[in-house]
Amino acid sequence: MRQIILSGYEQNPVLHDVAIPEPTGSEVLVRIAAAALNPLDVKLQRGQVHAYFPLEFPSPMGTDVAGTVEKVGSPTMRWRVGDRVMARLDPTGGGAFAEYAIVSEDQLVLVPDGLDFNSAAGLPTAAATAWQALVETADLQPSQTVLVHAGAGGVGSFAIQFARGLGARVIATASGDGVEIARELGADQVIDYRSEDFASMVSDIDVVLDTIGGEVQQRSFGVLRGGGKLLSTVSPPDQALAAAHKVDGAFVFHTSSARRLSDVVKAMSGQGHSVLIDRVLPMTSFAEAFERQASGRARGKIILSV
Ligand SMILES: NC(=O)c1ccc[n+]([C@@H]2O[C@H](COP(=O)([O-])OP(=O)(O)OC[C@H]3O[C@@H](n4cnc5c(N)ncnc54)[C@H](OP(=O)(O)O)[C@@H]3O)[C@@H](O)[C@H]2O)c1
């Protein structure tokens, strides 16, 4: 089978021919139909997250997959050959950018009939992170207002929809065509961050979802109401700044969870949310997909069609 493999930090990911793995025990062999890229793939390739996810080379790449069950490790498990499934693979082990992957049975989630594989592949990291931040960590309420940075990005495009689904008021930042995209996803107000200064335009925000970090994160403290929450997917918020503004600041470290991914899938179908897809490319165009992800300009998810 073909698989994208990294030979070392900062090396170009390369398509290799490798043996199809055999599932044993509680493992399932999934025939991959689609996989999604994430900024994490770029950070892993650059060695920027070595402290959390140390890679051993050669290292198969990719975390987010959707496909069908090809083989089961044990006939007693609940998965059957032909089941449509999705999963988030461990970032250290990778293996999503391939024709087949071994997945532990308890990490698999059923792909409902109405969800195509490209869209399903877009969910495991980005949508589940938005969910973990807004629903589980912030406990966002219908009466509240949330500021979503990078509303046209992978995490932000889901965050806007989930927040609206909860009944909250949503303000998003974006630029260029991203402004209209964020509006169409359900944002009540979109701030074009290239021509407008969010920090002087909004105040009394209940929750900020920071997907940018740095100066954007620091300036976001000032738009919160007292007791508000700044959640960052990029870096742990400065606790001294949080205390000075009398707000909470927390880092959201997304952990793979089949239960959370099932909740996400339910919300997607129950509330009619959609997966914003930047582009779909074949595995042979992986370099282009990776470059697009590394650009930081994607509108939603970059999908590999396998
Ligand atoms: N901690 C965790 O567990 C976790 C989980 C998931 C993601 N993350 C991290 O969260 C970050 C966001 O992830 P993602 O998947 O959403 O990234 P992404 O899809 O690559 O985000 C791209 C979007 O960011 C927008 N953008 C860039 N700079 C901006 C700015 N200053 N203000 C507003 N929008 C801006 C771009 O719009 P323009 O082209 O218009 O600028 C683009 O639409 C990444 O750093 C990722 O690694 C962390």
Whether the full predicted model's pTM is greater than 0.85, yes or no, is: yes
Question: In the prediction, which pLDDT does 141 show?
Answer: 98
Q: b or e along 245-254 (b: 16 or more beta carbons within 10 Å of the residue's beta carbon)? A: bebbbbebeb
Mean pLDDT of 168-174: 99
Tell me, in angstroms, the distance from the centre of ligand 1 to residue 263's CA.
Answer: 23
What is the rounded CA–CA span in Å between residue 246 and residue 227? 6
SS3 for 21? coil
Dist CA 138 CA 141 (whole Å): 9
Mapped onto helix, strand or coil, the DSSP state of residue 289 is helix
Residue 110 Cα to ligand 1 midpoint, Å, equals 27
pLDDT at 2: 98
Tell me, in angstroms, the distance from the centre of ligand 1 to residue 296's CA: 6
What is the tens place of the pLDDT at every residue in 53-87? Answer: 999 999 999 999 999 999 999 998 999 999 999 99
If pLDDT is split at 50, 70 and 90, which confidence band does 172 have? very high
Structural contact between residues 269 and 284, judged by C-beta atoms closer than 8 angstroms: no
Ligand 1 pocket, 133 CB below 6 A? no
Domains and CATH numbers, the chain: 2-122+275-305 (3.90.180.10), 125-251 (3.40.50.720)
Nearest-atom number in ligand 1 for the CA of 255 is 3
Q: Report d(CA 243, CA 60) in Å as an integer.
A: 42
Q: How confident is the model at residue 184 (pLDDT cuts 50, 70, 90)?
A: very high
Task: Quote the percentage of the chain above a pLDDT of 70.
Answer: 100
